[in-house]
């Protein structure tokens, strides 16, 4: 971001300096390696050390090369006996073993949770006494649709709205009777003093704790939450997307046009000389009549009674008994119909009366009893 904000000339200079610094580093590293090689060769030639670094005629064990040994002028790895120098060319063979990956099946055991339902006793508290709802049958009127014969075809009367024009004279005069003269009521606020007895009682509600026993069945269940470890299988390692910055090209239109206003003289024709009206005020003396003597309004301070709150200490006996209503179950009577036999009089007509032998069975209507 800093290089983008710099001009092109500074960018070229910075790039050249970076290339020169990298070349210097490489040159210094090469010189240090040459010095180390010269020092090692000098030490081996002077002191007659073992030539363990000869990479010709040795064996290659996993990347390490064990060369021939040099014991006091006799080179057993290159066939040098007693100072005779025979040069033989050695051929080094490099065997590279490459492993070709082949797919094979891998069985992976993934643990999973198994939920097992364990039955347990659940105690439900039942308040005593409890309400018992009794179903009482009662008569219900049921509406039964009875088919009605309608003659066909039948007349259907349909109401169609239509416009009705009513002649109304417009505009028309409306007379509002107003009595003359009429009274005008004006409300004038009047201070009203309300007598307040001193001292007066102040009722203050003081909260206090009320202890009352709540009936609860014993023993009662207590649920205690015990934390336990839950293992969640997670595939590891898993890929994490890391956003990386990427270069974005920004188009810069250089050079870009800049509009610069240039002032120039504009000649406007003006008639010279031209008349200019200049107002010249003239003082005029006006006599104002002042009445003698004249009234002067003077503000006189007046004492105004302003009420302010005064703390009044009220003696309250503590503690004092408080009666609190406690709800209790009340049996409510539900009305329901009860069938009771009632004697209903039945009137029987006596138009067909017959007599047998002049007597109505013993001188009465069937033994003295009649049918009513």
The encoded tokens of residue 127 equal 């308040």
pLDDT band for 37, please (50, 70, 90 cuts). Answer: low
Mean pLDDT of the 127-131 span: 83
Asked whether the predicted pLDDT for residue 43 surpasses 60, the reply is no
Nearest by Cα to 47 from 67, 82, 79, 72: 72
Phi and psi at residue 12, in whole multiples of 5°? -65, -40
Read off the pLDDT of residues 81-125 as tens digits, 9 standing for 90 and up.
444 455 667 888 888 888 888 888 889 889 989 999 999 999 988
User: pTM of the full predicted structure?
Assistant: 0.14
Q: Can you tell me the distance from the alpha carbon of 288 to that of 133, in angstroms, rounded to the nearest whole number? A: 103
Helix (H, G, I), strand (E, B) or coil at 66: strand
Whether the CB-CB separation of 340 and 228 falls below 8 Å is answered with no
240-249 confidence digits (pLDDT tens): 889 888 999 8
Banded model confidence at residue 326, pLDDT cuts 50, 70, 90: confident
CA 58 to chain centroid: 77
Q: Are 94 and 60 in contact (CB under 8 A)?
A: yes
Residue 236 pLDDT greater than 60, yes or no: yes
Q: Give strand pairing partners of 219.
A: none
Rounded Cα gap, residues 86 and 79, in angstroms? 7
* Location of structure tokens 């003269």: 181
pLDDT the model gives residue 52: 45
Cβ count within 10 A of residue 57: 19
Read off the pLDDT band of 129 (50, 70, 90): confident
Q: What is the pLDDT at residue 40? A: 56
- Mean pLDDT for 219-239 is 87
Cα separations in angstroms, 216 against 124, 127, 132, 252:
12, 8, 20, 83
| Among 210, 206, 211, CA closest to 318 | 206
Q: Which residue has the higher pLDDT, 359 or 123?
A: 123
Cis peptide bond upstream of 269, omega within 30: no
Res 119: pLDDT: 92
Q: Would you place residue 367 in the very low, low, confident or very high pLDDT band (cuts 50, 70, 90)?
A: very low
Model confidence at 351, in pLDDT bands (50, 70, 90)? low
The answer on pLDDT for 152 being more than 90 is no
Average pLDDT over every residue of 26-39: 74
What is the average pLDDT across 264-288? 87
Mean pLDDT across the chain, nearest whole number?
77
Higher-pLDDT residue of 139 and 290 is: 139
- Chain centroid to Cα 81, Å, comes to 94
Residue % of the chain over a pLDDT of 90: 12
């Amino acid at each position: 971001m800093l290089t983008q904000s710099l001009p092109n000339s500074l960018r070229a200079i910075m790039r050249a300096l970076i290339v020169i610094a990298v070349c210097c580093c490489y040159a210094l590293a090469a010189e240090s390696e040459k010095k180390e090689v010269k020092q090692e060769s000098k030490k081996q030639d002077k002191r007659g050390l073992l030539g363990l670094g000869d990479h010709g005629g040795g064996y290659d064990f996993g990347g390490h090369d064990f060369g021939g040994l040099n014991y006091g002028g006799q080179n057993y790895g290159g066939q040098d006996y007693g100072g005779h120098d025979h040069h033989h060319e050695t051929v080094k063979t490099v065997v590279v073993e490459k492993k070709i990956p082949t797919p094979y099946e891998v069985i992976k055991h993934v643990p999973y949770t198994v939920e097992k339902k364990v039955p347990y006793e659940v105690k439900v508290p039942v308040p005593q006494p409890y309400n018992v709802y009794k179903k009482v049958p009662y008569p219900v009127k049921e509406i039964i649709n009875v088919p009605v014969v309608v003659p066909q075809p039948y007349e259907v009367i349909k109401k169609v709205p239509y416009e009705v024009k009513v002649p109304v004279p417009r505009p028309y005069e409306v007379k509002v009777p107003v009595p003359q003269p009429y009274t005008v009521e004006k409300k004038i606020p009047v201070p009203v003093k309300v007598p307040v007895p001193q001292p007066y009682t102040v009722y203050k509600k003081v909260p206090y704790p009320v202890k009352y026993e709540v009936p609860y069945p014993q023993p009662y269940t207590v649920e205690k939450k015990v934390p336990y470890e839950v293992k969640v299988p997670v595939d590891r390692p898993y890929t994490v997307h890391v956003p990386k910055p990427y270069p974005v090209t920004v188009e810069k239109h250089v050079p870009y046009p800049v509009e610069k206003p240039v002032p120039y003289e504009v000649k406007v024709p003006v008639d010279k000389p031209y008349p200019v009206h200049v107002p010249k005020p003239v003082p005029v003396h006006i006599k104002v009549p002042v009445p003698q003597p004249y009234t002067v309004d003077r503000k006189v301070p007046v004492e105004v009674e302003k009420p302010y709150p005064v703390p009044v200490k009220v003696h309250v006996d503590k503690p004092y008994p408080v009666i609190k209503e406690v709800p209790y179950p009340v049996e409510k009577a539900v009305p329901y119909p009860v069938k009771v036999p009632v004697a209903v009089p039945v009137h029987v007509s006596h138009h067909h009366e017959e007599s047998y032998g002049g007597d109505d069975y013993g001188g009465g209507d069937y033994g003295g009893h009649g049918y009513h």
